[in-house]
Chain A
């Protein structure tokens, strides 16, 4: 009888211990699951921070490099333009010297007057020169030489009013309705792009 009772008591306690163990195990598992989920969430958030950081770092480097490259390009462009300006100034100085070389300049002037006469659709032509050219060629046979070369029936006279130019001429119809600007300044203006391209090709092409 006593042995049976002891066995019964032992069973009661054994069962409750087993149940307690089960409750404990279930509780611990739930806690561990909660912690694991929280850890995974935090790690995901940290990964997002890391990914954003990578993007931000790349952007920082790219932005800085891009800014510096732009600065470099601008500085080089400015320096190149300065060189081009200097060369264009040398060209202008060269033109002034050229105009002082009477034999070469006279031939050019004659050629340009001829071109102007061909371009102006009028029989009565007027030629305007700079003040210094008027002094140099006013009394000369510049126009007669031009007419002789062109063999044209057109009549041509020198305009008594001078024009402001390094060299060259403005050829116009006598009624001043048509004008052909054959001055060096006009040619410089017209040909500036071509000249700068050619100068750049010679100076900067590697």
Chain B
């Protein structure tokens, strides 16, 4: 009978040890969750910063290209041939004096 009681006792100890082990593991869950979340969001934030910097670089490049083309277009206006300007003046006078 004594041996049976001891076996029951040992059996309870096994179960309690397991419950303690799981309880310890559960206690650590919030820390694990926080750490995992922090890591995932940190990576997302880093990606965001990289993407924004890249977008800024691309925007700068495109803006510079547009500015260059605009400068060329504006410069082309000062290169209108003299005879074309004369043609425009003559045509305007023709219309005015008709």
Contacts and interface: CB of A to CB of B under 8 A. Distances in A.
Interface of A: 5, 8-9, 12-13, 15-17, 19-21, 23-24, 27-28, 30-31, 34-35, 38-39, 41-43, 45-46, 49-50, 53-54, 56-58, 60-61, 63-65, 67-69, 71-72, 75-76, 79-80, 82-83, 87-88, 90-91, 94-95, 98, 108, 184, 187-188, 191, 194-195, 198-199, 202-203
Contacts of A195: 92, 95-96
Kindly state the interface size class of chain B when it binds its partner.
35 or more
Contacts of A67: 63
Q: Is the interface of B mostly helix, strand, loop or mixed?
A: helix
B77 A54 contact: no
Contact of B40 (A19, A42, A57, A75): A42
Q: Is the interface of A mostly helix, strand, loop or mixed?
A: helix
Contacts of B67: 68, 71-72
Given A72-B66, A187-B96, A199-B88, A49 B15 contact: no
Q: Which 6 residue pairs are nearest across A and B when measured between Cβ atoms?
A: A16-B11, A72-B70, A27-B22, A57-B55, A46-B44, A64-B59
